[in-house]
Structure 1
Amino acid sequence: MTSSVPWQQRLSTGTEDIQDEVIGWYQQTRHGKAYVPTMIWGTLQTEAYATVILRQVVEFLGVPDDVPAGVAKRMERQQVLYDGEHHYDVILGEQALYTNIGGPEVMRGQMERILRDISLPSLTLGVLSATAEVGIVPKPGFNIFGDSRAHYELVSTGVDITDPDELALHNKAFSAFSNAACYGAAAEKLISKALAFWSNG
């Protein structure tokens, strides 16, 4: 089954309520996966980075402006990285390290945050090099919440997929990205290269 709700409907009261809903998704998901090709995974975002993202959402969609409240909820979500009860496999596209969200200062802080948290027991973080050969046609980013749902954030709507056969294909796609991604010291090298870029910019 596939369901979608337009963002302007889901965000009709602003960003806080949907962020609160997402906290529930993460708290209920002991093992999640995320493929995020062009931006930083929300649960690793700094407050400054998240503020820029949610400000863009509010201005683009014309929804009520409650950015500080939405950012506070996004920061609250990140407790799942530190409570010892959850684990997340996350693959960032190398482009995510260079997509300019808020300028060099924000991006430097974001790269430093990733380097600080990459070794968390709750996190397996890979970086998919821009030149990596992947055995699958490029796909938009998606999150997998346990065995129950895959979630996409499109321009106009959020899409949830719950059909078991479709979820199996999403897990297969994630495995293809994972097999091509860099981990450990190789991933840290790519992130450090991005940090140097934003530090020199």
Structure 2
Amino acid sequence: MTSSVPWQERLSAGTEAVQDEVIRWYQQTSEGLAYVPDMVWGTLQTEAYATILGRVVDFLGVPDDVPAGVAKRMERQRVLYDGEHRYDVVLGEQALYTNVGGAEVMAEQIDRIVRDLDLPSLGLGIIAASAPVDMCPVHAFSLHGDEVHLELVSSGVKVTEPAELALYRKAFGRLNDAALRGEGARKLLHKARDFWAEGGRG
């Protein structure tokens, strides 16, 4: 089954309530998969980077409780350190260059990823921009338990049909196969860090 809820409806009480919901389903499932081609995965975001929620509020015209929403997003990151959860995450290299908040924010964000790269709870891979991928380009998605979550421009979508879940797992496997991990990922991170240290001018 696939269901969707318009963001303007889902965020009608602000961003904090939605972040609370995300925290609950993170806590209820011990393992997760996520593919994010052009942004940093929410559970690895710094506080400064997470203020991108303000752009969501502005775009959708929903109640502005961004500081509360950001605080909840920081709270959800506890799952990386509690010893009870495991997440396999694939980022596109573009995620390291999509400018959220300017060079200082981006440099700090990349430092955060480098710091957490070897966490036992985190399997992080990065697909280099020129890497061959045995997959057509696809949107971001995350899979927890028996649910896939997608974020569209107008709505949040939840997929629970087993055959569709199998396709998402297959897609993640192919994306994961194309990703660099360990030292390869670290090199891409340091390259991006140098870019932002020079003010994002290359």
TM-score class, shorter: over 0.9
Unmatched 5+ stretches in structure 2: none
Counterparts of 1:69 and 1:179 in 2: how far apart (Å)? 37
Counterparts of 1:27 and 1:191 in 2: how far apart (Å)? 29
1:25 CA drift (Å): 1.0
The AA in structure 1 aligned to 2:38 is T
Unmatched 5+ stretches in structure 1: none
SS in 2 for 1:197: helix
Equivalent residue for 2:131? 132
SS in 2 for 1:124: strand
Equivalent residue for 1:156? 154
Counterpart check, 1:176 vs 2:183? no
Equivalent residue for 1:36? 36
Instruction: Name which of 194, 198, 202 aligns with 1:196.
Output: 194
The AA in structure 1 aligned to 2:36 is V
The AA in structure 2 aligned to 1:104 is A
Counterparts of 1:29 and 1:54 in 2: how far apart (Å)? 24
The AA in structure 2 aligned to 1:33 is L
Counterparts of 1:140 and 1:162 in 2: how far apart (Å)? 17
Counterparts of 1:154 and 1:118 in 2: how far apart (Å)? 28
Q: Which 4+ residue blocks in structure 1 deviate beyond 6 angstroms?
A: none
SS in 2 for 1:5: strand
Number of aligned residue pairs? 199
Equivalent residue for 1:79? 78
SS in 2 for 1:48: helix
1:138 CA drift (Å): 0.6
1:126 CA drift (Å): 0.1
